[in-house]
Chain A
Amino acid sequence: MLRKNLLCESWKCAGWICRAEGRSMIIVGEKINTSRKSIAAAVAQRDADFIGRVAREQAAAGAHFIDVNAGTFLDRETECLCWLVQTVQNAVDLPLCLDSPNPAAISEAMKVHRGEPMINSISLETERLEALLPVVSAQPCHVVALCMAQTSMPSTVQERVQVASQLIGELTAKGVPLERIYVDPLIQPVSVDIQMGNAALGAIQLIMQEFPGVNTICGLSNISFGLPERRLINRNFLVLCMARGLSAAILDPTDKQLMAALLATDMLLGHDEYCEKYIDAYQEGRITDHR
């Protein structure tokens, strides 16, 4: 007990806030997205075997949610998303992350989803907010709150925290508990503005400090737009985000180098008692450090 208290105090002294001690990162597997050619083809042909395989492979690699996105099908998105929900849930016993900027597609997909889905995402954009607030408060679900303001993209830490605070206010007022809210600080490329890494990192830290219990989540790939060797950048960005308190991430769990970085970081941040998960992953051949 003493050791734990000391740890917590020292975190506070340093002005850092971390996830609740011992709670693992929540991993959302990103691979079932029709912007990937193989997935688009499988959805077009209703190839349930292929989709099932991609779902199982992510589940085996440690995903807690499986993201499904059929955005490229445009006016057939809703129908495709619903098919994906049923197909993936036939293959794995996991909740899904329903990924669409289209409120109609999300609410239809929720109807065929078993268990408590993650809704990705709500934002302050009027149409999206008004359409999704009643939907996410009507049944238990996890909600990604994207830091997109009503009429513009935030650029500074303060603007991001401001939008996050408004979104958290809207959601909790409708009865969504903090623990089910996942704030996405909105990642923008460092290639365009070199401060965009710091803007996201600062926002993660402040949001975790200001709203104890809330989650922060992000996708990793936007940060590296316009640069070479993007996986390298994404991986290092994940580590930095976790050091500032990130509690969930949308990523490819079958990327062994990325997962190795995640597990090592979780351990270094004190979330992996006796280094158990790290060692298990090593012994099961799930992590690697190829030279």
Chain B
Amino acid sequence: MTEFKALTESVIKGDIKAAVAETQKVLDAGQNIQSIIDDGLISAMDDVGERFSKGQIFVPQMLRSAKTMQECMKLIQPHFKEGEVTAKGKVVIGTVKGDLHDIGKNLVSMMLEGAGFTIIDLGVDVAPAAFVQKVKETGADIIGMSALLSTTMPAMRQTIDALKEAGIRDKVKVMIGGAPVTDNFAKEIKADAYAPDAGSAVIQTKKLLGLS
């Protein structure tokens, strides 16, 4: 998508001023809104996520790119027309009951948003019932759960149990992550995916929704 090359590059660099100017330029040129988002912004963030997962760039660079994209979106939003822009999927996300750590969860939210997903962030210390309630309310496709403490990891299992009890386990995919969480633990509690970092969370989310 050569028409978005300058935009993509400035988002990858995290150059807010240049990215906003480029966004204005493509808007003025009458480019299709969906295409600006998909082929300009999201494709830039895909690249950022991939580089991050490979260890080529670091957290501050990823955050800077995500912030740049948010600023560009602010400019684009007034141009949204009904039915013209489609979100790729809805993710309900939160740090589990008893756990107040939110840094990893926030990084994941930001990268998923950058990848074009709608994020419903329930914050920290989220009870199983609150996850269930929000999924019912929003018809979310995925639940993302984070835990930094080994003592709060059981709350992930409890949330999955609560989904079963509510009869909606088969309607929503479950993705988990956080420092003490492992792929084995994800398998043990029958989560659908484990994401060790924010870049992987995007890749896993796409896989779960059949987008890649």
Instruction: Name the contact of A226 in the complex, choosing from B59, B150, B154 (C-beta under 8 A).
Output: B59
B142 interface hit (Cβ, 8 Å) = no
Interface string of A178-215 (1 = CB under 8 A from B): 00000000001101100000000000000000000000
Q: Which of B2-10, B18-26, B34-42, B100-108 contacts A (4 or more CB under 8 A)?
A: B100-108
Q: Are B60 and A227 in contact (CB under 8 A)?
A: yes
Complex contacts, A101 vs chain B, CB 8 Å? 149-151
Closest to A105 in B: B151
B124 interface hit (Cβ, 8 Å) = yes
Complex contacts, A125 vs chain B, CB 8 Å? 98, 100
Complex contacts, A227 vs chain B, CB 8 Å? 58-60
Complex contacts, B179 vs chain A, CB 8 Å? 35
For chain A, give the interface size range: 20 to 34
Q: Are A191 and B59 in contact (CB under 8 A)?
A: yes
The interface on chain B, measured as residues whose beta carbon lies within 8 A of the other chain's beta carbons, has a size of: 20
Question: Which residues in chain A, 137-158, are within 8 Å of chain B measured between CB atoms?
Answer: 148-149, 151-153
Q: Which of A11-19, A70-78, A244-252, A253-261 contacts B (4 or more CB under 8 A)?
A: A70-78
Give Cα A278 to B153, complex, Å: 44
Q: Are A192 and B100 in contact (CB under 8 A)?
A: no
Q: Are A152 and B124 in contact (CB under 8 A)?
A: yes
Give Cα A148 to B124, complex, Å: 13
Complex contacts, A127 vs chain B, CB 8 Å? 98
Give Cα A74 to B152, complex, Å: 10
Shortest distance between the CB of A93 and any CB in chain B (Å): 29
Q: Are B103 and A192 in contact (CB under 8 A)?
A: yes
Question: Which residues in chain B, 39-70, are within 8 Å of chain A measured between CB atoms?
Answer: 58-60, 63
Instruction: Name the contact of B100 in the complex, choosing from A72, A77, A153, A189 (C-beta under 8 A).
Output: A153
Complex contacts, B60 vs chain A, CB 8 Å? 191-192, 226-227
Q: Are A153 and B101 in contact (CB under 8 A)?
A: yes
Q: Are B63 and A151 in contact (CB under 8 A)?
A: no
Shortest distance between the CB of B128 and any CB in chain A (Å): 17
- Interface of A (DSSP majority class): loop
Closest to B98 in A: A127
A285 interface hit (Cβ, 8 Å) = no
B139 interface hit (Cβ, 8 Å) = no
Q: Are B59 and A192 in contact (CB under 8 A)?
A: yes
Complex contacts, A35 vs chain B, CB 8 Å? 179-180
B125 interface hit (Cβ, 8 Å) = yes
Closest to B149 in A: A101
Interface string of B100-140 (1 = CB under 8 A from A): 11110011000000000000000011000000000000000
Q: Are B100 and A152 in contact (CB under 8 A)?
A: yes
Complex contacts, B101 vs chain A, CB 8 Å? 153
Give Cα A149 to B102, complex, Å: 14
Give Cα A167 to B101, complex, Å: 19
Shortest distance between the CB of B154 and any CB in chain A (Å): 8
Q: Are A148 and B100 in contact (CB under 8 A)?
A: yes
Complex contacts, B154 vs chain A, CB 8 Å? 74
Knowing that A151-B100, A189-B103, A192-B60 touch, tell me 11 more A-B residue pairs with CB under 8 angstroms: A71-B150, A71-B180, A77-B150, A100-B151, A101-B149, A101-B151, A152-B100, A153-B100, A191-B58, A192-B106, A226-B60
A-B contact pairs, 23 of them (CB 8 A): A35-B180, A71-B151, A72-B180, A74-B150, A74-B153, A77-B150, A102-B151, A125-B100, A148-B100, A149-B100, A151-B125, A152-B100, A152-B124, A188-B103, A191-B58, A191-B59, A191-B63, A192-B59, A192-B63, A192-B103, A192-B107, A225-B59, A227-B58
Binding site for A on B (CB under 8 A): 58-60, 63, 98, 100-103, 106-107, 124-125, 149-151, 153-154, 179-180
Binding site for B on A (CB under 8 A): 35, 71-72, 74, 77, 100-102, 125, 127, 148-149, 151-153, 188-189, 191-192, 225-228
In the A-B complex, the 4 residue pairs with the closest CB atoms:
A226-B59, A191-B59, A71-B150, A101-B151
